[in-house]
Amino acid sequence: MGEKQVDEITGVETTGHEWDGVTELNNPMPKWWVNLFYACIAFAGVYVIFYPAIPMINDHTRGLLGYSARGEVAERIAAHSEMQSVWKDRIAAASLEEIREDPDLFNFALASGAANFALNCSQCHGSGAAGNVGGFPNLNDDDWLWGGDLESIYTTIAHGVRNEDDPDARFSMMPAYGADGLLSRAEIRDVAQYVMNFSGRATDMEAVERAAETWEYNCAACHGDDGRGDTDLGAPNLTDAIWLYGGSAEEIFNQVWNPRHGVMPPWLERLGDTTVKELAVYVHALGGGE
């Protein structure tokens, strides 16, 4: 064995290593730290015995206590569902109008509807229901394609939009006036000015005059002579400042030329009648309900 080397200044033994005149003191670990380390090892051993710990190929050790975090979550969910069942049963048996007139039932439906909206609807309509550019409508305003009363909102949520598998789904299609050759490019540009004139934004009044006859024969049947639309047909109101696909002259031209048609899945079978009622109450209460 080599001779022990001791630091002259501190009197502490060194590790024997030296680099460029620098040596390392061989101080022992503090006893409290060593004891804590051994205690952690002992605790880990006890934990492995009593709790799930060691993964195996298809399973894991269960521990003597049989504890399961997933099982605890499942129990809490079941207890919460049982607590809510009284209110859920009342909503299931009540009409939408009865729910609205009962303050306690309304508040429960509102809270539950908000939670389900965040889970199922916010991905398209946004967390605040303000919609997204490109075909996802704002649900806070008072502009409704198929009506904004409780029953109408319920029907739209329950059966979806342009869902061919459900005969009760909301369904409306605007012809592709340009892509199908029904109107010329010049006629559609005039129609775009005609539409903008409903909200006082037309920049070419001669185009508005030229488009009057085109509007009467091609557009008024759905949108009305005054452009206010028809909720029975799902035809939008063109006189306000609310646009699903943009309200500039170019964007209106593109929509008339080759229209985009949004879709929404039917939620009745997925979520059930009670949850759809709650969603209808929540959406109606956002501020634009009729």
Residue segments in the chain with a per-residue pLDDT below the cut of 50: none
* 58-100 pLDDT, tens digit each: 888 889 998 888 888 999 999 988 888 999 999 999 999 999 9
Whether residue 157 is found in the same domain as residue 271: yes
pLDDT value of residue 2: 63
* CATH code where residue 123 lies: 1.10.760.10
155 and 272: one domain?
Answer: yes
Q: What integer pLDDT is reported at residue 76 of this predicted model?
A: 92
Predicted local distance difference test score (pLDDT) of residue 66:
87
pTM, two decimal places: 0.76
Domains of the chain: total: 2
pLDDT at 238: 96
Q: Using H for helix, E for strand and C for coil, what is the string for the chain?
A: CCCCCECCCCCCEEEEEEECCEEEECCCCCHHHHHHHHHHHHHHHHHHHHCCCCECCCCECCCCCCCCHHHHHHHHHHHHHHHHHHHHHHHHHCCHHHHHHCHHHHHHHHHHHHHHHHHHCHHHHCCCCCCECCCECCCCCCCCCCCCCHHHHHHHHHHCECCCCCCCCECCCCCCCCCCCCCCHHHHHHHHHHHHHCCCCCCCHHHHHHHHHHHHHHCHHHHCCCCCCECCCCECCCCCCCCCCCCCHHHHHHHHHCCCCCCECCCHHHHCHHHHHHHHHHHHCCCCCC
The mean pLDDT value of the chain amounts to 92
- Residue 50, pLDDT score: 94
State residue 185's pLDDT score. 97
Q: Is residue 32 part of a domain?
A: no
Same domain, 140 and 196: no
